[in-house]
Amino acid sequence: MSGGTRRTGGPGRQAGPDNRTRSEAPETLGATDDGAQLPFMSDSDGFDVRAYTRDPRSLRRGDFDLGAMQGLPTNTLLTLRHLQQVERGTLRLMRDLLVTPTHAESRVTAFLTTWAYEEYWIADALEAVLEANNHTEVAHSTKLGRIRRGWDDRIIPTVDAIRTNLLGSDIVAGHMAVGLLDSLVARASYARIGQLEPRLASLIDPIVKIKDRHVEFYTDEAADRLAASSGARRLGQHAVRSWRWPGSRYGAPGYVQPVLRYLFADPSVRADIDAADAQVAALPGMADTHPIRRALGRFASRGARQ
Amino acid sequence: MAFDIERFTQDSVRVNWEDLDLDNFRENPLPPETLRTLRYMCDVEYHTVCYLRDMLVTRSHGEGEVNAFMTMWNREEFWHGEALAHVLSLHGVTVNYDQLKDRRKKLGWRDRLAPVKQSLLSNIVGKDFVAVHMLWGAANEWSAAAAYKRLGVLEGHPSLAELLRRIAAQESRHVAFYATQAKARLAGNPKAQKLARFALKNAWAPVGSGIMTDDEVTHVMGHLFGGTEGRKEINAIDRHIGRLPGMEGLTIFADALDARGVAA
């Protein structure tokens, strides 16, 4: 896993550091997160997990112009709520990965630890915008969604802990491919809402940069792991086929569908979706897959039937 | 005792050591028994993500402040591992991702099935299981804070003592969270108290026991908590636990030292 074949560079490297001071901290814990050299943790030549862990972007409420984000239209707020609820589900996703052989991959868990931290602050920032617009509505689970959630919380971790550990470390490739899909659609969603509502720019631009780094990590990991064995590719293909749009498993389709229509119905967005799909198709064993377009198509046809 | 989760998340930073003069370890290295203890602490801190996993499969995770805490706690503990790895690296001891991966893999099915056990217990016991987790977490964080403070005193190296003080300060905030949660969930709930008391008395072992060898656990317990002063610290932790609802008279830490033959 730490061979010298990994790629270097990528869009996330240009984003700025998290260099806030935390003078309000109750104890003096030392200097700020300043990204000084830490010589001990070896890393490979690809995505620099060490650099990522010591340079997280935690988006705080004072970092963006909340005053410019008052009076947002309802469809924007519904979309922000959807995205916020997806971000809030990070620990559930983390659980689903950690019960599998992925938990032993210390490079991945170091990433996930920092990723969860960044996601936490994105969700908090989105909550701030929603609060500023007095938007308290949340998407409640349907009856079926509640059953699914109970199943996913109580049964699946147990089943998966046994099933995936029997399958072995090839399963990690699929997790990385799904992580990439989740990050790609998140990035596309944020980028699009930023286009549709320019007043959100000071919030959305840093989020897109954060997502860029997540995409970069997952691309790197998925590519290496899928290339490693035919078993990994087979499990990866299954994972990509089974992938669902984030945040769509528990709520009513009638809630997510307008969000996706708002974001992606315009034909001008198709090129962005195709570009995201192409990033997945470029992975070993994933040629001709169009998981994102397919997922959007399912929502579109469901909408047409309603 | 209240716990302000908003303040905790806002203040949560990775522990820093870049301002500390640790390089003089190259000329004045720490003794082998201290490095052995630091290695133990380092491995346990890095293992936090697996402890997190075991909590996430139970009802201990939720939507609100527990999730917020776990996110920050996991990251802070990861950085304790990084800080200790840095000190070890100055002594020529390398800790890297590949080694951590090997170590986790070697834990085998016992580790892989840990979430299954936790999930089944949680499903069988129900909500009261959360009280056990919180109490368990409090006990472990109390012992971690005490261990770092104790090592700082034993070693007497000013920069190491400062690093350990910073780490212990974060551990103390973790104690505050777990103890507040445990107290709230145990108070007025005799069933949860009975269950938690039974679990601590019969299943608890010093943090790291499941992932390190018995020899290592005994070394660390003896190194940090052997002798009169060490036993004082241990008795203080037992008293903290004993003050929680239904835990009066428990002496799990003193019992663990006695069982390992660590003299007072």
Q: How far is CA B230 from the centre of its chain?
A: 17
- Enter the tokens of residue A232: 């990994």
Token duo for residue A63 = 């970092």
Distance CA B121, CA A99 (A): 16
pLDDT tens per residue, range B68-97: 999 999 999 999 999 999 999 999 999 988
| Confidence band for A281, pLDDT divided at 50, 70 and 90 | very high
User: Which residues in chain A are contacts of B113 at CB distance < 8 A?
Assistant: 161-162, 165
pLDDT at A133 over 90: yes
Q: Residue A55 contacts by C-beta under 8 Å, 6 or more apart in sequence? A: A17, A18, A33, A35
Distances (CA, A) of A304 to A74, A243, A257, B247: 22, 22, 10, 61
CA-based nearest distance A125→chain B, Å: 13
Q: For domain A58-305, give the CATH number.
A: 1.10.620.20
User: 3-class DSSP state for residue B260?
Assistant: coil
Residue B16 and residue A112: Cβ atoms within 8 Å?
Answer: no
pTM above threshold 0.90 = no
- Nearest by CB: B15 against A30, A154, A162: A30
Structure tokens at B261: 């033959």
pLDDT single digits (tens) A231-263: 999 999 999 998 988 877 666 667 788 899 999
- Find, among A94, A37, A1, the residue nearest to B102 by Cα: A1
Q: In this model, does residue B172 exceed pLDDT 70?
A: yes
- The pLDDT assigned to B61 comes to 63
Contact partners, residue B188, CB within 8 Å, separation at least 6? B245
Residue of B75 and A162 predicted with greater confidence: B75
Closest partner residue to A91 (CB to CB) among B67, B75, B101 is B67
| Percent residues over pLDDT 90 in chain A | 56
Element counts in chain A: helices (H) and strands (E):
12, 0
- Cα–Cα separations (whole angstroms), residue B114 to A118, B53, B122: 28, 9, 12
Residue B1 binned pLDDT confidence (cut-offs 50, 70, 90): low
| ipTM, 2 dp | 0.91
Alpha-carbon distance of A110 to A246, in angstroms, equals 23
Q: Which of A25, A98, A120 is closest, CB to CB, to B53?
A: A98
The encoded tokens of residue A239 equal 């994972």
Domain range for B106 is 21-259
Could you tell me the CATH number of the domain that includes residue B126?
A: 1.10.620.20
Residue B5 belongs to some domain of the structure = no
The pLDDT of residue B230 = 95
| Crossing angle (nearest 10°) for helices B252-259 and B214-225 | 110
Chain centre distance of CA A68:
26
- Residue among A102, A96, A116, A112 nearest A1 (CA): A102
Query: Between B43 and A148, whose confidence is greater?
Result: B43
Task: Say how many domains are in chain B.
Answer: 1
Domain range annotation of chain A:
58-305
B202-233 pLDDT, tens per residue?
Answer: 989 999 888 889 999 999 999 999 999 999 99
Instruction: Provide the chain B residues 90-149 that lie in CB contact (below 8 A) with chain A.
Output: 94-98, 100-101, 104-105, 109, 112-113, 115-116, 119-120, 123
Instruction: Report the SS3 class of residue B42.
Output: helix
Is there a domain that residue B160 lies in?
yes
User: What would the mean pLDDT of A138-144 be, rounded to a whole number?
Assistant: 74
Residue B1 belongs to some domain of the structure: no
* Cross-chain residue pair B94–A94, CB shorter than 8 Å: no
Choose the most confident range, by mean pLDDT, from A99-108, B110-119, B122-131: A99-108
Closest CA to A171 of A98, A280, A277, A109: A98
Amino acid letter for position A38: L
pLDDT tens-digit series, residues A164-189: 776 777 888 999 999 999 999 999 99
Q: Is the pLDDT of residue A33 over 90?
A: no
Residue B239 lies in a domain: yes
Query: Which one has a higher pLDDT value, B137 or A2?
Result: B137
Beta-bridge partner residues of A141: A251
Q: Is B75 inside a domain boundary?
A: yes
